[in-house]
Structure 1
Amino acid sequence: MKKDWYLLCICMFFIILSCNGTDKPEETIPGAVPVRLADPFIMLHDDVYYAYGTNADDGIEVYTSDDLKEWGKAPELALHKDNSYGDKWFWAPEVYYVNGKFYMYYSADEHMCVAVADSPFGPFRQLVQKPMLEGEKTIDNSLFIDDDGTPYLFFDRFNDGLNIWVAELEDDLMTIKTETLHPCIHVSQEWEQVWPRVNEGAFVVKHNGVYYMTYSANSYESQFYGIGCATATEIFGEWTKYPDNPLLQKPGKLVGVGHSAMFRDKQGDLQIVFHAHNDEVNIHPRKMYIAKAGFKKVEGVDKLYIEEQYETPVLRK
């Protein structure tokens, strides 16, 4: 009887383990190697997923996938420092296909830049090798094009720790209309007070007339790095943070979770890509993870949510 009970317990243990195994495929698939990208961004173009992120010392890498699970690294950098302002700290790239061209928004030497290419693989080239906003440090630039076609740039300024601003762009998608510079959010909630003053990595989507901004708070080095949300009914209006932030912090075994971007998959479902620390002891190299996101009604209002269960993309063998 005791033996049967012991075997039942063992079986239940492995069933539970298998149910939780999808969030750590490198542990369950022998030899699997996770995708080591920080500040990740995923673009779906012509039925192929492209991932860009912070990793290379001399530019920006690009990976491709058909299913979001297995990824292959392109042999050449999408952006090389020879084609860009700055010679170090190539961070947080985002790539958008607009009017037949691919635009990469990224940071170099703690200044935000934009480069252009004819292919999602690049080579991306910065036509004029200077920062988008000269005279001050700015990072984490993210493009948002509204329903009426007006382009906006969300980004971080260093004038109150790190805080998030927005400005309208000229039609070239490269030139900031400095007269439109507008503050969005800064450190203001208790969960954001770990260290130092950081609100960064804005990404904006529009749903039923409301703008939803995901952002990250606390130092990326902190295990309490996490993802919050703020909303607005006008881009240059008041942005209000969810009172129950963060939406995602320390899911499962992950720590240092943040710098996210949302995208629609091949089925049209909303997903979110983010990074986390290498493990609970080491920060680097950071790894890319993907979770489902969406909207649900709460007291009659659409609320953005992020599922805590996540997938760990791996490199193709």
Structure 2
Amino acid sequence: MPHRTAIRIRDPYVLAEHNDRFYYLYGTTDDNVWNGPATGFDVYRSRDLDNWEGPYPAFRPEPGFWADRHYWAPEVYSYNGRYYMFASFKSEHRRRGTQVLVAKGPLGPFEPLTGEPVTPREWECLDGTLHLDGNGSPWIVFCHEWLQVKDGKMCAMPLKEDLRRAAGKPVVLFSASEAPWTKAGQDGTVYVTDGPFLHRLADGGLLMLWSSSSRNGYAIGVARSESGSVTGPWTHDPEPLLPEEGGHGMLFRAFDGGLVLAMHAPNKQPNERAVFIRMEEKGGKLKPLRSGI
């Protein structure tokens, strides 16, 4: 049973499953996440967030699956009686996209819900996350990648109730350069959008955690919807959520009711590890509690 600090993982996502009182940890788990053939996604489970059973094979592609590389950032949700995984995939001849997979239980095995990604076929997209609006209708929030547009975009698109396809056109929420904390890379025109995750505050406000490059390296920023809905408009907190390097964050409720931030740090392979930080929500702000888990 490996300790959390022994598990190499990027883009960690935790599903706190109240049915069996296990935490399930998903993430980018291939040894070579940037090049070469991909293997799939693994999942771990734990009672205490420190010691984890696994890995269990959550997804392994069947022969003929369209993508063979860049299996990134799986997120799993309990929705309408089944478990749905949103994850990014790519092949040499197909643009990157977020595809929806489905399983009967959180350990999987997950299988593609449809034959192709739900994000626009002609776009380079990644890091799709599921959001249910005030009416309970599903949306996918995802990144239109800097590789195609240079100044990465954060987008939202309504989905059909069964999550099989889009129910409308994508809406651009903001560009990465709009946040005052982001730092341009390469020739000064490239801005990254990564890892959106939406969080409803106790007062009804809607926040989005997302990641980009900052002066301190890979970082998590906070965007706020002025309308309280996914379509915004969105404004940005001036500084990242944490002062040190660490990114691709999400929030979950521990079984004791406390709010926990999951992210990976550092951002350099092969040293990436899941980091869990207790958070406090006060006055519409998120504050890390350094006592940790």
Is TM > 0.5 for Structure 1 vs Structure 2?
A: yes
- Please give the per-residue CA displacement for 1:130-152, whole angstroms capped at 9, x wherever unaligned: 12121221000000113421111
**Cross-structure match for 1:9:** none
Counterpart code for 1:266: F
User: Partners in 1 of 2:4 and 2:170 — Cα distance?
Assistant: 47
Q: Spell out the pairing of 1:40-119 with structure 2 (5 A cutoff).
A: 40-45=12-17, 46=19, 47-56=21-30, 57-75=38-56, 77-82=57-62, 84-109=65-90, 110-119=96-105
**Cross-structure match for 1:19:** none
**Cross-structure match for 2:35:** none
User: Partners in 2 of 1:121 and 1:35 — Cα distance?
Assistant: 17
Match of 2:288 among 264, 287, 306: 306
Q: CA RMSD in A?
A: 2.3
Match of 2:135 among 142, 145, 148: 148
Change (3 A) 1:192 1:174: same
Aligned-residue offset at 1:54:
0.3
Match of 1:199 among 193, 216, 219: 193
Task: Report SS of the residue matched to 1:187.
Answer: helix
Change (3 A) 1:150 1:32: closer
Percent of paired sites with the same residue: 29
Q: Which has the higher helix share?
A: 1
Match of 1:177 among 162, 167, 171: 167
Aligned-residue offset at 1:74:
3.2
Is 1:268 the counterpart of 2:257? The answer is yes
User: Partners in 2 of 1:177 and 1:184 — Cα distance?
Assistant: 21
Q: Which has the higher strand share?
A: 2
* 8 Å CA contact 2:5, 2:273 repeated in 1: no
| TM-score where L is the length of structure 1 | 0.77
* 8 Å CA contact 1:224, 1:249 repeated in 2: no
Aligned-residue offset at 1:168:
1.2
User: Partners in 2 of 1:53 and 1:32 — Cα distance?
Assistant: 13
User: Partners in 2 of 1:32 and 1:126 — Cα distance?
Assistant: 29
* 8 Å CA contact 2:152, 2:175 repeated in 1: no
User: Partners in 2 of 1:167 and 1:296 — Cα distance?
Assistant: 30
Change (3 A) 1:194 1:131: same
Match of 1:166 among 156, 160, 166: 156
Counterpart code for 1:225: Y
Counterpart code for 1:104: M
Task: Report SS of the residue matched to 1:177.
Answer: coil
Aligned-residue offset at 1:248:
1.2
Task: Report SS of the residue matched to 2:62.
Answer: helix
User: Partners in 2 of 1:180 and 1:216 — Cα distance?
Assistant: 20
Change (3 A) 1:32 1:124: closer
User: Partners in 1 of 2:208 and 2:160 — Cα distance?
Assistant: 22
Higher mean C-alpha displacement, 104-113 vs 178-187? 178-187
Structure of larger gyration radius: 1
Aligned-residue offset at 1:118:
0.5
- Please give the per-residue CA displacement for 1:49-82, whole angstroms capped at 9, x wherever unaligned: 000000123111100000111112234x101122
Q: Which has the higher contact order (CA 8 A, sep 6+)?
A: 1
**Greater than 6 Å deviation, 4+ residue runs:** none
Change (3 A) 1:32 1:70: closer
- Please give the per-residue CA displacement for 1:195-245, whole angstroms capped at 9, x wherever unaligned: 2411221100112221110111118xx9611111011122212101012x2
Is 1:242 the counterpart of 2:224? The answer is no
**Cross-structure match for 2:275:** 289
Number of aligned residue pairs: give it.
266
| TM-score where L is the length of structure 2 | 0.83
Aligned-residue offset at 1:276:
0.9
User: Partners in 1 of 2:193 and 2:5 — Cα distance?
Assistant: 31
Counterpart code for 2:6: P
Match of 1:121 among 99, 107, 117: 107
